[in-house]
Amino acid sequence: MNVATRNFGAPIRRNEDPRLLSGQALFVDDVELPGMLYAAFLRSNVAHARIRSIDVAAARARDGVAAVYTAADLGDYWAPGPLLVPPPPIEGITFNQRTQVPLAKDKVRHVGEPLAVVLAQSRYLAEDALNDIAVELDPLPAVVDLEKALTGEARVHDDVRGNVAARVRQCRGDYAAARSRAKHVIARRFHYDHGASSPIETRGIVASWDARANQLTIWDTTQAPVFLRNGLAGMLGLSERQVRVIAPFVGGGFGPKIMLFYPEEVVIPWAAKRHNCPIKWIEDRLEHFFATTQERGQTHDAEIALDADGRILGVKDVFLHDTGAYNPYGLTVPINSQCTLLGPYVIPSYDSTFTAIFTTKPIVTPYRGAGRQHGVFVIERLLDIAAHELKIDRVEIRRSNLIPPDAFPYNNEIIYQDFAPLTYDSGNYEPILDKALAMIGYRTFLAGEQQKLRAQGRHVGVGVACYVEGTGIGPYEGAKVQVQANGRVSVATGIGTQGQGHFTSFAQIVADQLGVEVPDVDIVTGDTDQFYWGAGTFASRGAVVAGNAVNEAAKAVRQKILKLAAEHFECAEEDLEIANGEVSVTGVPGQAIKLGALALKANPMRGAVKPGAEPGLESTQYFGPPSGATASGVHAMIVEVDPQTFALDVLKYVVVHDCGTVINPLILAGQIHGGVAQGVGNAFYERLVFDDDGQLLNASLADYLLPTALEVPHMDIAHTVTVSPLNPLGIKGAGEAGAIPVGPLFAQAIEDALGLLDRDVELNEIPLSPGRLFELTAKLR
């Protein structure tokens, strides 16, 4: 019999909302325990210095202070953190591993690096005591500019010459030969700066040691609870079963909350064990700008070789990547930039080299898009400039270079962040482009509308940008599905959730398999005692990898239900149907049993069970995709620019997206809206401004501008579907797509609105802003 897809694909309201809407969802800072101490960290206020001394005596003596610790107090526990992602197996690679430390010992390497921690009766008292600590620092020159970092004297790590964290070259085909054949070669320098993820909930951790049970419980805003548990157990000399990590409701993550181990995550559990009491630390917004990882800048020197018709023969790119003071996340961000540059296009030859550079700035790890934006910006800008120089329509140059639908799976012949060759599983790009053009009204806009508006003195332009996104990478996730005696179904997975709607999308999958309603399925995520194994929520992989694990487990439970019910009714499994929370014999009224009753039967109190039988209606299954699934899309917009103030008004914004099979279109739309909003911030409003001393000059939400409801446009979204052959549900991830192509889209549309390319002004950097546009157009005045 077939499984009905009543819920899969439907815009179902979310299971988790009533708790969140009524203020009853548990976030980390909501955890209050008797006898709790509160932590505050003393952080370096300079970017680069040798530590001469730290005197904590006065702080220790203050009323209400339980303890003050520096690196020296940590003893053997003090150690640099692990390398989370080792470099991929690429020939000739240079990689210098330097990971962050729990509390700075000899040197500080960025503003905000922790020097000491105070534990006190309240956070207020802990912060009072920070003022009592006397620190003597010998300042060193800051390392801020990437090119100067390579040649200058100052070293972030004394033994790393030129501050080179890594150097990687990847090639496909023979670029030099392609270049010599080319009719046109266009070379430019591009700067792309990404920013701070800025979830509205900052980071936090509560650790509680129960000496009677020998058990450590951690509540943490992490995106990777299982890894956090494993690492903490190792550091503290405990077995994994003695550590329980709970990632409760988390107020947005977007990447940086997957970083491990933040210094606070090392220090607070250690202190909780030592003091035998619960300890809480919650990051404040100022700390968030320094103490949480961020993304930042790359400088690309790129060139594209084309034939007379605008066909791409090859691309060469040499770029510098700012990795910050340490590199615990390996090469994920720059490898993503390197790979995603290839986009949806046939690029027969590619020669790409990057150098990752240590600077005295906060650590760089993936933030939504994770370096993909930088690569997409380069190729999209190169195509815009090429179209202009070759006098080809911007859209047509893209169309003529798209990978054709019969070329999948398409191998790009370089290595991706998951260590596998960068192969696109499936896709059909031209219909996406056509749909976006139709929705934005590209032809009619250019054929007359724009002219008409210009005649009225209005500066309105159109932009179109394409991208692909590698999603849903391994290694694996698992899920346990269990029918409860009351008929409800419980599901546990190892991933954490930060608003992606997993409580609902996973319930939809289960509800269809087991014939129950979505609200009857209870999902637990991010509690290592509920589900032991897993990797985490990153790289747009939750729905793909955990979703398929949930599906496999639900299918196995379905088989158990049918088998047991067939025995119960003494009929064939084919004669049974599962619906409305019960199993019934098809066509025989009254012959039905509730799932809950069947679950009780599966766990008998007396009698013999057959050898090999397992009690209960439950199953645990795992899913690991062979490689990542590639989603794709096109964004288009029409924007009006005020030529005096350079204020923007986005008149229309269109997203056409292919992420394979869709579980819940409402949740998917939300993911795309949110991604675009962050893309808009990145393109035009958010810039981390560091001065030459490595000081961040705008570390507040009043100065670092997150887009509000007035800056984020209304979006029209449409989908095409090419299913992924890499997983049974055919899903591709969608978490990051919205954010990826917004930068080049803004640059192109603003150029068009102001007619800049005709006047030799190119917008080859992101973020832009009114002020920056004023500067870049100076020569026109």
Partner 1 sequence: MSTQMHAITVTVNGKQYSRQVEGRLLLSDFLRHDLLLAGTHVGCEHGVCGACTVIFDGAPVRSCLMFAAQTDGHRIETVEGLAADRDHLHPLQQAMRDCHGLQCGYCTPGILMTMKVFLEDNPNPDEAQIREALSGNLCRCTGYQHIVEAVQLAAERMRK
Q: Is 9 in the site for ligand FES (CB under 6 A)?
A: no
Query: Residue 654 Cβ, how far from ligand FES at the closest point, in Å?
Result: 23
- For 738, residues 6+ apart whose C-beta sits below 8 A from its C-beta are 655, 671, 672, 673, 674, 675, 676, 677, 678, 679
Cα distance between residue 446 and residue 649, in whole Å: 18
CB of 677 to ligand FES, least distance (A): 10
CA angle centred on 649, ends 192 and 680, rounded to 5°: 30
The CB-of-13 to ligand FES minimum distance in angstroms stands at: 15
501 binds, among ligand FES, partner 1, none (CB under 5 to 8 A by kind): partner 1
Q: Could you say which of partner 1, ligand FES, none residue 181 binds, taking C-beta under 5 to 8 angstroms by partner kind?
A: none
310 touches 398 (CB < 8 A): no
Q: Cβ 286 to ligand FES, closest distance in Å?
A: 12
Q: Reduce the DSSP state of residue 609 to 3 states and report it.
A: coil
Q: Closer CB to partner 1, residue 252 or residue 441?
A: 252
- Choose the contact partner of 715 out of ligand FES, partner 1, none; CB within 5 to 8 A by kind: partner 1
* Residue from 25, 58, 164, 566 binding partner 1 (CB under 8 A): 25
Question: Does 255 interact with ligand FES (rule: CB under 6 A)?
Answer: no
Nearer to partner 1, 251 or 470 (CB): 251
- Pairing, β 37-43 against β 279-282: parallel
Q: What is the DSSP letter of 419?
A: S
14 lines the binding site for partner 1 (CB under 8 A): yes
CA gap 164, 363 in Å, rounded? 15
Could you say whether residue 13 binds partner 1 (CB under 8 A)? yes
Which residue of 151, 200, 406, 587 would you call a contact of ligand FES, by CB under 6 A?
200
Contact region with partner 1 (CB under 8 A), list: 223-231, 348-356, 610-618, 674-682: 674-682
CA angle 531, 532, 535 (to 5 degrees): 100
List phi, psi (to 5°) of 706. Answer: -80, 140
Q: Which residues contact 36 (CB under 8 A, 6 or more apart)?
A: 206, 277, 278, 279, 280
Please say which residue, 211 or 709, places its beta carbon nearer to partner 1.
709
Nearest CB to ligand FES, comparing residues 499 and 633 = 499
C-alpha span between 422 and 439 (Å, rounded): 31
470, containing H or E segment: strand 460-471
- Please give the backbone phi and psi of residue 376, each rounded to the nearest 5 degrees, phi first: -60, -40
217 pairs with which residues across the strands?
208, 244
> At 630, which helix (H) or strand (E)?
strand 629-641
For position 438 contacting partner 1 by CB under 8 A, the verdict is no
- Helical H segments across 298-391, by residue range: 332-340, 372-390
> Least Å distance between CB 201 and ligand FES?
8
| Number of residues in the chain | 781
Specify the residue, 455 or 709, whose C-beta has the smaller distance to ligand FES: 709
- Kindly report the CA angle at 164 between 162 and 167, in degrees rounded to 5? 135
3-state secondary structure of 302: strand
CB 683 within 8 A of CB 767: yes
Q: Quick check: 618 and 481 in contact, CB under 8 A?
A: yes
Residue 375 binds ligand FES, judged by CB under 6 A:
no
Interaction between residue 499 and partner 1 (CB under 8 A) = yes
DSSP 154-199: --SSTT-GGGEEEEEEEEES-HHHHHHH-SEEEEEEEEEE------
Phi and psi at residue 262, to the nearest 5°: -65, 150
Q: Per-residue x/- mask for ligand FES, residues 464 to 503, rule CB under 6 A? A: -----------------------------------x----
Query: Does 413 engage in binding with partner 1 (CB under 8 A)?
Result: no
CB of 16 to partner 1, least distance (A): 8
Distance CA 553, CA 775 (A): 58
Please identify, using beta-carbon distances, which residue of 9 and 252 lies nearer to ligand FES. Answer: 252
Size of the site for ligand FES (CB under 6 A): 4
211 binds ligand FES (CB under 6 A): no
The dihedrals phi and psi of 364, each to the nearest 5 degrees, come to: -100, 125
Structure tokens at 767: 């973020």
Contact residue for partner 1 among 673, 762, 770, 777 (CB under 8 A):
673
- Residue holding tokens 């801020």? 144
Are 639 and 650 in contact by the 8 Å Cβ rule? The answer is yes
Q: Determine the residue with CB nearest ligand FES.
A: 200
Beta partners for 249?
27
Q: Interface with partner 1 includes 200 (CB under 8 A)?
A: yes
The yes or no reply on residue 741 touching ligand FES (CB under 6 A) is no
The yes or no reply on residue 58 touching partner 1 (CB under 8 A) is no
Closest by CA to 746, choosing from 672, 684, 676, 686, is: 684
Phi, psi of 720 (to 5 degrees): -120, 160
Describe the strand order of the beta sheet including 716-719 as a list of residue ranges.
460-471, 629-641, 648-658, 716-719
Residue 348 interacts with ligand FES (CB under 6 A)?
A: no
Binding mask 570-589 for partner 1 (x = CB under 8 A): --------------------
Does 252 interact with ligand FES (rule: CB under 6 A)?
Answer: yes
Q: Does 699 bind partner 1 (CB under 8 A)?
A: no
Q: Which stretch binds partner 1 (CB under 8 A): 28-36, 421-429, 533-541, 772-780?
A: 28-36
Among partner 1, ligand FES, none, residue 500 binds (CB under 5-8 Å by kind): partner 1
Comparing CB distances to partner 1, the nearer of 345 and 684 is 684
Q: How far is CA 196 from the centre of its chain?
A: 12
Half-sphere exposure of 324 (CA within 13 A, CB side): 28
- Tally: H helices and E strands in the chain: 21, 30
First to last CA, the chain: 73
Strand ranges in 325-409 using DSSP code E only, listed in sequence order: 350-358
CB of 655 to partner 1, least distance (A): 11
CB of 50 or CB of 285, closer to ligand FES: 285
Task: Compute the least distance from the CB of residue 539 to partner 1, in Å.
Answer: 18
202 interacts with partner 1 by CB under 8 A:
yes
Query: Of 278, 237, 282, 242, which is closest to residue 262 (Cα–Cα)?
Result: 282
Q: Which is nearer to partner 1, 22 or 456 (CB)?
A: 22
Q: Binder to partner 1 among 213, 308, 702, 778 (CB under 8 A)?
A: 702
The sign one gets for the Cα dihedral 753, 757, 759, 762 is positive
Q: Which is nearer to partner 1, 93 or 286 (CB)?
A: 286
* Least distance to partner 1, CB of residue 200, Å: 4
666 binds, among ligand FES, partner 1, none (CB under 5 to 8 A by kind): partner 1
Measured from the CB atom, is 12 or 545 closer to partner 1? 12
Taking contact as CB under 8 A, which single stretch among the options 268-276, 470-478, 704-712, 750-758 is the one that binds partner 1? 704-712
Using the rule CB under 6 A, is 679 a contact of ligand FES? no
When CB distances are held under 5 to 8 angstroms depending on the partner's kind, the choice from ligand FES, partner 1, none that residue 29 binds is partner 1
User: Shortest approach of ligand FES to residue 701 CB, angstroms?
Assistant: 7
Q: For residue 443, what are the contacts with CB-CB under 8 A and spacing of at least 6?
A: 437
Minimum separation from the CB atom of position 236 to partner 1 (A): 28
By CB under 8 A, what part of segment 224-253 binds partner 1?
Answer: 249-252
Interface with partner 1 (CB under 8 A): 11, 13-14, 16-25, 27, 29-30, 32, 124, 197-202, 249-252, 254, 284-285, 498-501, 666-667, 669-670, 672-678, 700-702, 706, 708-710, 712, 714-715, 738
Q: Which residues bind ligand FES (CB under 6 A)?
A: 200, 251-252, 499
